Amino acid sequence: MAIVESILPETNDAMAAESSRTFLRQFRQNLLGMLGAVLVIFIAATAIFAPLMITHDPIRIMVGPRLAGPSLDFLLGTDQLGRDTFSRVVMGGRIPLLVAFASLGSSLAVGLVLGLIAGFGPRWLDNLLLLVFDTIRSFPSIIFALAMIALLGPSLASIILVIAITSMPIYARVVRTQTEALRSSEYIAAERSMGAGTTRILAVHVLPNVLGPLLILVSMDVPAVIAVEAGLSFLGMGVRPPTPDWGAILNDGYSYINQTPWPVIASGIPIVLATLGFTFLGEALRDIFDPKLRKDL
Amino acid sequence: MWFYLCRRLVLAIAIIAIAVTLLFLMIRAVPGDPAAVLLGPRATPEMKALLHQQMGLDKPLVVQIATFFGGLLHGDLGFDVFSQRPVADIVFEQLPYTIQLILVSISCAVAIAVPLGCYSAMRRNSLVDQVAGVVTVATIAIPSFVVAVYALLIFAVTLRWLPAIGAGNGFWDGPIHLVLPGFAIGIGWVGYISRLVRASMLEVLGENHVRMARSFGISEWRIVARYALPLAILPTVTILGVGIAWLLSSAVFIEVVFARPGIGALIVNAVHTRNYPIVMGVVLVSTFLIVSATTLSDVINAFLDPRTREKL
């Protein structure tokens, strides 16, 4: 016993080091994944350090002329109220990221719990939950979101709630499938014969197995959430003016598209970069950790 | 097969019924009186009571739901107090525009994506395949409304090649007004479908019957078209059903950007004016569309591939 214990930690460390080396190597070979990582870091850093980077107050009107093109003073021009577009775009990345974090986080938590219940609970509960998941998935996401916003009023909280509800079923389904597969495996039966309760089995054995694929799925949903948030703000259903937000700036620019292209160009590109960056990164992570993941769905 | 069909239909009906009930309860659960919202702050109690009676809000909840379902079976989606017209009339007036937009974009996308996917699979790792690999991920990721606004900016505002807004009318005008909206919706689908076709084509091309056909000296294009594609297209059929949901979602943005009529534009306006009956009507019709499309594609799939019948 003593021998085993003295050997085990070492081999574990060695294995961990080895696997992290292969991870880094694989990651470096994946050019798009690298590009994605760079973009994501760039966007996250911009959002975090936004207050230090802005050149003007993003919500103060008439700091410059109306609808001006780019100049040294106003790097990306100004909008219809004479606000500095560069400062607005820099600050505007905070809300999409916040929404993604909040909505996917809560969705992950609820999906995990419901999935575990469905996979480990009684058969009727499983069927009931599956029916609920399928029902939620049968709503067209944007139209469902619009309906909820009509009821709750346009706000960030509504958007976060809607995204959390609509993305939950997929996570719950993945957790359920994995849980069900584990439930009948031999080592769980062994654990149970030694007197382990359901809580222990779920926490010690099922959770670690389920969490990995789930996190990859969540990371792949980030671009979609950013797109939904920007889209709803574009329709005027998200943040209230004058809060800067990519979708809202795009909407302002769209209204004045005949006079100046700059607000549209300046707010569209960050949306594209953010969705591309998170997509490339998510795909790379999936390819490295779990190439089969999408087929399980 | 019949058993599968019945089960699938029952499930579809159950999902629609649950969805309708959920929506109904959600609208009733919202704090505030729908009648008060509709009438505005200056309404008298008598007006509210009258509208309550008209909308059936004075009856018990179960009766309300039952009446609502009864109406649905007769194609009655409720009544729009603003325009004094039945909701069904308004929604079905707009629906053809959305269906047209969706069908045009998806068929163009399939027409481009299937050959592209086949080619990428046949010349695996060639330059075309690698470029297509990167471009397709990008087109899937970029939101359709950004594509739409940029397309509008480039082709309609700057170059003035194509009309910017409206649906147009007449033999030539209609299709021309569909070019930019169709492009904005379809481009993501080109990427998605071509990747799907490529992946399943690669799988099929490695199978025995294809090797057999090769050993007979049949040309590669003929093998792909005759023996591989019918199998490799299956996942695409399934995805198209689910895809209706995504297409409806992007249609909302596209209709707003290009000021086209359609149920997407309808629901956005209804949300802005807080016109619940219309919002509800659009959600119901689109949910019905999606559930029917998913069911149909599942059935087609079960018909083509007997193995999927066992799992449900």
**Rounded Cα–Cα distance for residues A6 and B46 (Å):** 84
Of the partner residues B18, B138, B257, the one whose CB lies closest to the CB of residue A135: B18
Structure tokens given for A286: 């999936």
Helix (H, G, I), strand (E, B) or coil at A295: helix
Question: B223-254 burial, b for 16+ CB within 10 Å, e for fewer?
Answer: bbeebbbebbbbbbbbebbbbbbbbbbbbbbb
C-alpha distance from residue B119 to each of B123, B191, B195, B225, B239 (Å): 6, 14, 11, 11, 20
Chain A residue closest in CA terms to B135: A276
Do residue B146 and residue A139 have CB atoms under 8 angstroms apart?
A: no
Distance from CA of B225 to the nearest CA of A (A): 25
pLDDT in the model for residue A101: 92
**Rounded Cα–Cα distance for residues A35 and A283 (Å):** 12
Q: Which residues pair with B79 in a beta bridge?
A: B86
Q: Domain extents for chain B?
A: 93-311
Mean of per-residue pLDDT scores for chain A = 81
**In this structure, what DSSP letter does residue B126 have?**
S
Q: What is the CA radius of gyration of chain B?
A: 24
**Measured between alpha carbons, how far apart are the two ends of chain A, in Å?**
42
C-alpha distance from residue A104 to each of A5, A148, A211, B42 (Å): 40, 18, 14, 41
Compute the Cα dihedral for B78, B83, B84, B90 and give only its sign: negative
Structure tokens given for A78: 């100004």
Question: Rounded to a whole number, what is the largest CA-CA distance in chain B?
Answer: 85
**Rounded Cα–Cα distance for residues A53 and A75 (Å):** 12
Question: Rounded to a whole number, what is the largest CA-CA distance in chain A?
Answer: 79
**Rounded Cα–Cα distance for residues A67 and A270 (Å):** 20
Count of alpha carbons within 13 Å of B279, Cβ hemisphere only?
A: 24
pLDDT in the model for residue A10: 47
Chain B residue closest in CA terms to A275: B141
Cβ(B192)–Cβ(B140) under 8 Å?
yes
**Rounded Cα–Cα distance for residues B150 and A261 (Å):** 9
pLDDT digits (tens, 9 = 90+) for A244-272: 889 888 888 888 888 888 888 888 899 99
pLDDT in the model for residue A296: 38
Cβ(A269)–Cβ(A42) under 8 Å?
no
Element (H, E) at B86: strand B85-86
Q: Which 3-state string (H, E, C) describes A200-237?
A: HHHHHHHHHHHHHHHHHHHHHHHHHHHHHHHHHHHCCC
Of the partner residues B11, B134, B153, the one whose CB lies closest to the CB of residue A257: B153
Mean of per-residue pLDDT scores for chain B = 81
Chain B interface, mutation test: which of A40, A135, A163, A250, most B Cβ atoms within 10 Å? A135
CB pairs under 8 A between A and B: 129
**What is the DSSP secondary-structure string of A154-167?**
SSHHHHHHHHHHHH
**In this structure, what DSSP letter does residue A78 have?**
B
**Out of A127-141, B8-22, B153-167, B183-197, which region has the weakest mean confidence (pLDDT)?**
B153-167
Distance from CA of A30 to the nearest CA of B (A): 12
Helix (H, G, I), strand (E, B) or coil at B80: strand
pLDDT digits (tens, 9 = 90+) for B241-286: 778 777 888 889 999 988 888 999 999 988 888 777 888 888 888 8
**Out of A204-208, B33-37, B144-148, B209-213, which region has the weakest mean confidence (pLDDT)?**
B33-37
* β-strands B85-86, B79-80 pairing: antiparallel
**Rounded Cα–Cα distance for residues B230 and B209 (Å):** 13
pLDDT in the model for residue B247: 85
**Rounded Cα–Cα distance for residues A292 and A295 (Å):** 6
**Rounded Cα–Cα distance for residues B262 and B248 (Å):** 10
Structure tokens given for A176: 């359920």
Mean pLDDT, rounded, for A214-235? 89
**Rounded Cα–Cα distance for residues B267 and A140 (Å):** 13
B185 CB-near residues (< 8 Å, 6+ apart): B101, B102, B105, B144, B247, B250, B251, B254
Residue with tokens 């198209």: B240
Of the partner residues B18, B253, B267, the one whose CB lies closest to the CB of residue A231: B253
**Rounded Cα–Cα distance for residues B16 and B248 (Å):** 17
Domain B93-311 fold is MetI-like fold (1.10.3720)
Element (H, E) at B79: strand B79-80
Cβ(B252)–Cβ(B271) under 8 Å?
no
Interface of A with B in 105-144 (CB under 8 A): 131-132, 134-135, 138-144
pLDDT in the model for residue A114: 92
**Rounded Cα–Cα distance for residues A275 and B138 (Å):** 9
Distance from CA of A191 to the nearest CA of B (A): 30
Length of chain B: 312
Helix A246-255, helix A262-289: angle, nearest 10: 140
Give contacts of B264 with chain A, Cβ < 8 Å.
143
Query: The pTM is what?
Result: 0.82
pLDDT digits (tens, 9 = 90+) for B115-149: 888 888 888 878 888 888 888 888 888 888 898 88
Cβ(A258)–Cβ(A140) under 8 Å?
no
Element (H, E) at B85: strand B85-86
Structure tokens given for B179: 């070019």
Helix (H, G, I), strand (E, B) or coil at B261: coil
Cβ(A253)–Cβ(A264) under 8 Å?
yes
Cα torsion at B183, B180, A237, A139 (round to 10°)?
A: -40
Mean pLDDT, rounded, for A231-254? 86
